Amino acid sequence: MTILNRKLTYTTTALCSGTVLSLALCGAAIAQETPGNAAQNANEIIVTAQKREERLKDVPVPITAIRSDSLLAQNQTKAQDFFSTIPAVNLQFQNGRAQLAIRGITTGPVTGNPTIGYTVDDVPYGSSTGQGGLFGSAPDLDPSELARIEVLRGPQGTLYGASSIGGLLKYVTIDPSTDKISGSVGGGVLLVKDGGGTLGYNLRGAINLPVGETFAVRASMFHRDEPGFIDNARTGRNDVNASKVTGGRVSALWKPSDSFSLKLGAMHQVRNIYGSSNADITTGSFSKQTDIAGAGRSRAENQMFSAVMNADLGTVNVASISAYSRSKNYDFIDFTNTGLTFFVFPPIFFPITEFGDNFRQGYDVDKFSQELRFSGGVGDNIDWIVGGFYTHEDAKYRVDANATNPNTGEIYGTPIQWRDSLKFDEWAAFGNATVRLSDKFDVQFGGRYSENTQNFKHRERNIFPVFDNDGNPILGQSQVIIANTDPRADGHSFTYQVSPRFKPSPDHMIYGRVASGYRPGGTNANCNSPLSAVPVPCQFKPDKIVNYELGAKGDLLDRLLSYDVSAFLIDWKDIQISQLVGENGFTYNGNAGRARSKGVEVSLEARPVEGLNVKAWLAYIDAKLAEDINSNALFGLKGDALPYNSKWSGRFSVDYVRPLSDSVTASFGASLTYVGNRRGEFVNKAPDGTAPDAPLRQVYPEYAALDLNAGLDINAFTVQVFLQNVTNKRGVIGGGFNNQTSFNPNWFNYTQPRTIGLNVSHKF
């Protein structure tokens, strides 16, 4: 039986230690195991990053594995909490959502199609296109639903397809078990500085029910009520960015034999955010904003249903993954500073002197996907995977630019309305093989061919004033202009990867990797529109990436020290960019030249004495334009840094576990995370096509955050206390000049203020 057919097993400590784990996130989970087992099992982690079971340290891809227990111990329950602490991952926080870039591969949070792929139990999550909504924002799943998260850095186009040119995040949920009835209940409270003394809380529960020897059901639910810490100086409302998240999951596993299993899953989650986290620096405070009344509200509802079948036919394994998901999202954004609504709906229509633009965006995506793959081996020297993939997406995008009284929120009218729909279809065939040329050397080959079609319908309604012969608007008169377009796009690509791997001993591995990635192109809603200030192409092209990498992983000093080192060079061509239609208008997507990212990532973990783990990682990433941006609107020169990328970042942590008695174990943890300077988005050229006036691009300063946690395991009970952002450092993570979601140079998003809390849980 090949490694492809081996049963997937995990241990608590294995998922919490190892050469390529996130070296600051897993320490708290070690408290669940004895210190002696922690060192022994640290390098036996099994992952499925390459759609087959492998020890994590044997995978020729840089991976970070995050255990859910460690996230809960440190209260890292939201995407923006923990993804900003992973090597080579950059956080862009916009409109209450965490959008990520890996190894600097981004040109902005609302540019083109997603650059990061997401899967939940190997089911693709989110839309494949920017028009489909949320522009590739990270799933905000509660850690209580998960066994772990795997973060794969670098393009993963061969096995995971389009829109994973930067990397991939795999969410792995907890499977039902036929062993016994088990479960957990828990809850906690937290207090945020500047939160007005409001106490946040969370509740969680899960139960596993075997039904006979071959069938089991697992159900879980959670609720988080998170206090706000931003006050609105305009409306007088306090703590406007409070949020509530509720979700649950049910899964059923039928395993009539060792050679067949069927798992059905259903997940539902709703998140409500009651105001934006924008802070207006003109107020002189990190915790005050001036958003117009009614702006900042958002809601996201996500459902996912899946059926995963695995069958061992002896010489071949068959896996089928069928899924359907539905996402319904909307948000209100203060677009007043664009001047858009004021231009088309001037105050002559109403007896007021001040207008606001409460811009509502709605995204609905229905998605079906099907993957069928076969795996097996040829003797002891070849392992192979072949498969096919299909997805169909039906996305709807709605825009209402509401002319609003900024102080009361009263809506006077809606001068601009968009009603868009997009149908996206993709077909792909892929294959991967590992050829072992000796006990110490093998080579992995992979390829994927894909095709996609996109059919877009754009319906636009605009109300404009009527002007007299002297160019003055006529009081009370307006005209309605309708603009409809039906652009379509299609494309195809072949992606590949070659990974030689050399193992001089069981404790050391050296690998190389050449891998390509592909992001589909797409359509522009306002192409050929009579309302466009400049000609807009109906289709933008795909962009492609080739990643060259050399890495090493291993253990030293009888496994007391683990290391993971990688150096990479990424060439990116035909990069997708977003640019404005005229001085004040909507954006469209295009392509512009080449970029290059190069860097080094180093991770170390030491276990000098029983129960003590000392971990550190350091990342250097130099991501910049390889040639001037060739665009009618955007300005960027060769050598300019890509947005949101910190050239230097790192993390250092210490975790200690100590048994106090046969039934009590104590744990202590501290971590310091550093994020270096970053540049904001590229800016528009001056009207004459030359360099814009200063300021050119927003600069986000460096910052460091210190977190502490401690816990007690008392029989089946766990008590954990945490203190996040001990020094109350307010690091900038979004907003500012030329930000495409606020358009206000005085508005910024900052890291959450100092937060203290307590969690208690019981397992049975």
Q: Report which of 163, 39, 26, 92 is spatially closest to residue 543, judged by C-alpha positions.
A: 163
Tokens of 470: 């002297």
**Contact criterion met (CB below 8 Å) for 710 and 681:** no
CB atoms within 10 A of CB 477: 12
pLDDT of residue 353: 58
Q: Are 151 and 66 in contact (CB under 8 A)?
A: yes
Kindly tell me if the per-residue pLDDT of 342 is higher than 60: no
Given a cut of 60, whether residue 11 has pLDDT beyond it is: no
Mean pLDDT of 336-344: 63
What one-character-per-residue DSSP string does 647-681 give?
SEEEEEEEEEEEE-SSSEEEEEEEEEEEE--EE--
Tokens matching residue 251 = 């899964």
Q: Which amino acid is at 204?
A: R
State the residue for tokens 């512009």. Answer: 592
pLDDT at 12 over 70: no
Report the distance separating Cα 34 and Cα 57, nearest Å: 22
pLDDT above 90: residue 352? no
* Predicted pLDDT at 32: 31
Write the burial class of residue 689 (CB in 10 Å: 0-12 exposed, 13-18 middle, 19+ buried): exposed
The residue written with tokens 């030491």 in the block is 606
pLDDT band at 674 (very low <50, low <70, confident <90, very high): very high
Q: Is the pLDDT confidence value at 141 over 60? A: yes
**Residue 3: its pLDDT value, please?**
34
Going by the DSSP 8-state scheme, the letter that residue 284 receives in this structure is: T
pLDDT of amino acid 24: 30
The DSSP bridge partners found for residue 312 are: 317
Instruction: Please give the Cα distance from 371 to 349 (Å, whole number).
Output: 55
Domain extents in the chain: 3-763
Cα separation, 501 vs 172, whole angstroms = 26
Q: Among the listed ranges 286-300, 310-324, 422-436, 529-543, which one has the minimum average pLDDT value?
A: 529-543
The mean of the pLDDT values for the chain is: 85
C-alpha pair distances (Å), 202 with each of 25, 185, 260, 326 = 20, 11, 38, 25
Query: In terms of Cα–Cα distance, which of 37, 28, 71, 75 is closest to 667?
Result: 28
The per-residue pLDDT for 346 is 53
pLDDT digit string, tens, across residues 624-647 = 999 998 877 788 899 999 998 999
535-565 pLDDT tens trace:
788 899 999 999 999 999 999 998 899 999 9
Amino acid letter, 106: T
The DSSP string of 442-478 is: EEEEEEEEEEEEEEEEEEEEEEEEEE-TTSPEEEEEE
Q: Report yes or no: 576 and 544 within 8 Å, Cβ to Cβ.
A: no
**Whole-angstrom distance between the N-terminal and C-terminal Cα of the chain?**
36
Compute the distance between CA of residue 705 and CA of residue 754 in angstroms, rounded to an integer.
Answer: 10
pLDDT score at 7: 31
pLDDT on residue 187:
94
In whole angstroms, how far apart are CA 98 and each of 23, 82, 94, 448? 21, 10, 7, 29
- The CATH topology of domain 3-763 is Maltoporin; Chain A (2.40.170)
pLDDT for res 248: 94
pLDDT in tens, 710-748: 999 999 999 999 999 999 999 998 888 766 555 688 899
The residues, ordered by sequence, that sit 6+ positions from 188 with a Cβ below 8 Å of its Cβ are 75, 201, 202, 720, 757, 758, 759, 760
Q: Which residue has the tokens 């107020």?
A: 283
Say if CB 32 and CB 69 are below 8 A apart. yes
The pLDDT of residue 344 is: 53
> Do 546 and 570 meet the contact criterion of CB atoms below 8 Å apart?
yes
Instruction: Tell me the percentage of the chain whose pLDDT exceeds 90.
Output: 58
CA 46 to chain centre: 23
Q: How far apart are CA 654 and CA 584, in angstroms?
A: 50
In this prediction, residue 394 carries a pLDDT of 95
Read off the pLDDT of residues 217-244 as tens digits, 9 standing for 90 and up.
999 999 999 999 999 999 999 999 999 9
Helix, strand and coil in the chain, % to nearest 5: 10, 55, 35
Alpha-helical (H) ranges within 236-285 are none
Length of the chain: 764
Residue 267 has pLDDT above 70, yes or no: yes
Query: Do residues 181 and 542 touch, judged by C-beta distance below 8 A?
Result: no
